């Protein structure tokens, strides 16, 4: 387990884990979208800037969903106009449809993400579409985005369970995921929107996809399982993990979906595992503590609580 | 990954995991010992009784440490006198020295646990002994307890890090642990007292012991790592896991030691993994919600929060 010559206080990277991973920071979008009181665009801009200072290289900045759905992100165009883009940092933006893509293109976005559902119930609740017809909505978005030179990520919600349908057949998840990849998404993020997954299911679903190469994982900590599910995904070779600074976030249309995996708790584990990620934990904790002050309540991240509590 | 014939919403037990484990419930002792206001002995008795109702078969009931050290557990003799012992349930009790063993024997205890430190600093802080001389204190306790027909567990604190010494060499942990096993402990519980461990270190330490058979793990969730560390230990074949109902607890002499792994969060993962444990999650959550009411603050367990929040 431990490489020859290392001091025996240090464990070498466990067998099978990636040497390094990309942390896909969703705090400014998934983390904030559920906040009731609207956060000032300057605070959001400082949040994004501080996340980049902390070493995050993929920061999901905002969303072009209709402002009536997510009032918190109604300032998407202003935010992108005010945002300083740094070399080596990607700022993907959520786009629900062709109108959203128009706005993203106007704003000079280089990377978008679409969001589909693995279940019929959530496709109807979240998108007002059937499971099948959601793909008809996304197909022209992806095709045009690719033609414009944009990178496209596909989110897939409710991959491990759905509060209306219960357990979701893995074959259904794989079929929906493949449609997103086949239409031109370069990455597929498997979302445990209501936080019910456990490591064996994570392994089984990734195995059913055949390869971890285009997969990312997106866990919510509703039942305390987010980090162990992430460990299971890393053990399967997944090398992009979604997380939210300070554990901010949830899903406005799924009642029991509480916070995302906290980026700090993920970084703590990766540091111990010797998996590189590029994030300065001290700066990140300072950022989340600052953001918690802005929001007026403590961060749910255990690491933030332990180091700043 | 999935057994032939199972519906594809269910993952079979992942390779290498034990078929079933013993949950060593530490709520009434480790969970409560750090509570500032003394909990009434009748509340403790009801807590223990409800834990047994929920299916827990090992419930660490109390401690015979000196009442000045842990005033919360000064009622140990009264508690044991009032406690109804059920068939098939063990009620181990913490014993620090020969005086404590005398009291345990008077109370008719059948299973004790001693608690040693893997580091010099914590041996001095917690036991007022050197790393070496703590074993001289424990040896006659274990010898006499075994002669009296008692089962003895050895706890080892600070196995993954120590707030005064930093990382702890694994060779030092293994040496201390072996002394406890060699003197007659039938089980060794590896404690991450300050919650700093990560899964690679857990694997490496268990590997250094040569076999998981006599090992248990005891993780604190200070940095959010308790459940992923537990997953790593299960993957190494460990089949006894310490946890605390509702995530109660901490360590009074280690400042940054916050709550134990919550039994509910562990049970959620085990259910998903198909690892049997005998606990009724609904009854356990009710018990922790009731105990949280007694203590006047919410449970830190994510599962309790999600199901009762």
Residues of A with Cβ-Cβ distance to B199 under 8 angstroms: 14, 231, 269, 272-273
What gap in Å lies between CA A127 and CA A123, rounded to an integer? 5
Q: CA-based Rg of chain A, rounded to a whole angstrom?
A: 18
Q: What is the pLDDT of residue A225?
A: 97
CB contact (8 A) between residue B198 and residue A14: no
Which residues partner with A216 through β-bridges? A189
CB contact (8 A) between residue B10 and residue A265: no
> Is 3.20.20.70 the CATH classification of the domain at B22-308?
yes
As a whole number of Å, the end-to-end CA separation of chain A is: 34
The model's pLDDT over A243-298, given as tens digits with 9 standing for 90+, comes to 999 999 864 444 444 689 999 999 999 999 999 999 999 999 999 999 999 998 88
The model's pLDDT over A81-112, given as tens digits with 9 standing for 90+, comes to 999 999 999 999 999 999 999 999 999 999 99
Q: Evaluate if residue A7 carries a pLDDT over 90.
A: no
Q: Evaluate if residue A1 carries a pLDDT over 60.
A: no
Residues of chain B scoring pLDDT < 70: 1-7, 9-15, 250-258, 309
Residues of B with Cβ-Cβ distance to A2 under 8 angstroms: 204
Beta carbons of A222 and A194 less than 8 angstroms apart: yes
Residue B236 to chain A, least CA–CA distance (Å): 12
Backbone angles phi, psi at B240, to 5 degrees: -130, 125
Going by the DSSP 8-state scheme, the letter that residue A20 receives in this structure is: B
What gap in Å lies between CA A83 and CA A41, rounded to an integer? 10
CB contact (8 A) between residue B306 and residue A171: no
Residues of B with Cβ-Cβ distance to A228 under 8 angstroms: 227-228, 230-231, 269
Residues of A with Cβ-Cβ distance to B301 under 8 angstroms: 224
Whole-Å CA distances, A243 to A261, B94, B129, B270, B307: 5, 40, 44, 24, 23
Percent of chain A with pLDDT over 70: 92
If one counts every other C-beta atom within 10 angstroms of the C-beta of residue B273, the result is 24
Q: What is the pLDDT of residue B3?
A: 40
Beta carbons of A47 and A265 less than 8 angstroms apart: no
HEC-encoded secondary structure of chain B: CCCCCCCCCCCCCCCCCCCECEEEECHHHHHCCCCCCCCCHHHHHHHHHHHHHCCCCEECCEECCCCCCCHHHCCHHHHHHHCCCCCCCECCEECCCHHHHHHHHHCCCCEEEEEEECCHHHHHHHHCCCCCHHHHHHHHHHHHHHHCCCEEEEEEECCCCECCCECCCHHHHHHHHHHHHHCCCCEEEEEECCCCCCHHHHHHHHHHHCCCCCEEEEEECCCCCHHHHHHHHHHCCCCEEEEEHHHCCCCCCCCCCCCECEHHHHHHHHHHHCCECCCCHHHHHHHHHHHHHHHCCCCCCHHHHHHHC
Give the three-class secondary structure for A196.
Answer: coil
- B-chain residue closest to A227, CA distance: B228
Residues of B with Cβ-Cβ distance to A306 under 8 angstroms: 195, 222-223, 256, 258
Whole-Å CA distances, A260 to A28, A113, A242, A265, B86: 12, 18, 8, 11, 41
What gap in Å lies between CA B199 and CA A15, rounded to an integer? 12
Residue A99 to chain B, least CA–CA distance (Å): 36
What's the sign of the alpha-carbon dihedral B4, B9, B14, B18?
negative
- What class does CATH assign to A23-308? alpha beta
Q: What is the pLDDT of residue A2?
A: 37
Q: Which of B159, B185, B236, B251 is catalytic?
A: B251
Q: What is the pLDDT of residue A16?
A: 78
Residues of B with Cβ-Cβ distance to A256 under 8 angstroms: 306
Residue A167 CB contacts under 8 Å (≥ 6 apart), including other chains: A160, A161, B7, B9, B10
Backbone angles phi, psi at B262, to 5 degrees: -80, 130
Q: Quick one: pLDDT band at residue A69, thresholds 50, 70, 90?
A: confident
What gap in Å lies between CA A200 and CA A48, rounded to an integer? 34
- Nearest CB to B14; choose among A195, A203, A262: A203
- Nearest CB to B203; choose among A11, A256, A271: A11
- A-chain residue closest to B197, CA distance: A272
The model's pLDDT over A209-231, given as tens digits with 9 standing for 90+, comes to 999 999 999 999 999 999 999 99
- Nearest CB to B273; choose among A200, A207, A269: A200
Q: What is the pLDDT of residue A199?
A: 96
Cα three-residue angle B232-B238-B239, rounded to 5 degrees: 125
Size of interface A-B (CB pairs under 8 A): 148
CB contact (8 A) between residue A200 and residue B14: yes
CB contact (8 A) between residue B225 and residue A268: yes
- B-chain residue closest to A235, CA distance: B232
Q: What is the pLDDT of residue B201?
A: 96
Dihedral in degrees, nearest 10, Cα atoms A146, A147, A148, A153: -10
Q: Evaluate if residue A185 carries a pLDDT over 80.
A: yes
If one counts every other C-beta atom within 10 angstroms of the C-beta of residue A224, the result is 27
Which residues partner with B187 through β-bridges? B153
Whole-Å CA distances, B197 to A81, B3, B167, B220: 43, 33, 10, 9
- B-chain residue closest to A265, CA distance: B224
Burial class (CB in 10 A: 0-12, 13-18, 19+), A158: buried
Backbone angles phi, psi at B126, to 5 degrees: -90, -30
Q: Where are the domains of chain A?
A: 23-308
Residue B221 CB contacts under 8 Å (≥ 6 apart), including other chains: A302, B195, B227, B247, B258, B259, B260, B261, B262, B300
Q: Which residue, among B133, B141, B132, has the nearest Cα to B102 in the 3D structure?
A: B141
């Amino acid at each position: 387990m431990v490489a020859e010559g290392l001091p025996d206080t240090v464990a070498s990277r466990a067998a099978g884990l990636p040497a390094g991973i990309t942390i896909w920071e969703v705090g400014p979008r998934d983390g904030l979208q559920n906040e009731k009181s609207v956060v000032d665009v300057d605070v959001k801009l400082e949040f994004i800037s501080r996340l980049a200072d902390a070493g995050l290289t993929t920061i999901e900045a905002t969303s072009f969903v209709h402002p009536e759905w997510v009032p918190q992100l109604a300032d998407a165009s202003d935010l992108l106009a005010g945002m300083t883009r740094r070399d080596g940092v990607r700022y993907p933006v959520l786009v629900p449809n062709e109108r959203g893509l128009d706005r993203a293109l106007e704003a000079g976005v280089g990377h978008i993400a679409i969001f589909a559902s693995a279940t019929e119930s959530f496709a109807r609740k979240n998108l007002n579409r059937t499971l099948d017809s959601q793909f008809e909505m996304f197909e022209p978005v992806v095709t045009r985005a690719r033609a414009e030179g944009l990178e496209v990520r596909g989110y897939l919600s409710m991959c491990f369970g759905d509060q209306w349908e219960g357990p979701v057949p893995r074959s259904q998840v794989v079929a929906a995921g493949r449609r997103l990849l086949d239409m031109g998404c370069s990455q597929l993020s498997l979302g445990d929107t209501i936080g019910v997954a456990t490591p064996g299911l994570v392994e089984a679903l990734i195995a059913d996809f055949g390869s971890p190469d285009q997969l990312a994982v997106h866990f919510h900590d509703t039942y305390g399982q987010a980090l162990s599910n992430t460990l299971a995904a890393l053990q399967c070779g997944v090398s992009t993990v979604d997380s939210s600074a300070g554990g901010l976030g949830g899903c406005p249309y799924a009642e029991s979906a509480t916070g995302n995996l906290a980026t700090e708790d993920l970084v703590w584990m990766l540091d111990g595992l010797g998996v590189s990620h590029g994030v300065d934990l001290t700066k990140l904790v300072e950022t989340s503590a600052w953001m918690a002050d802005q929001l007026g309540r403590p961060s749910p991240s255990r690491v933030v609580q332990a180091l700043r509590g």
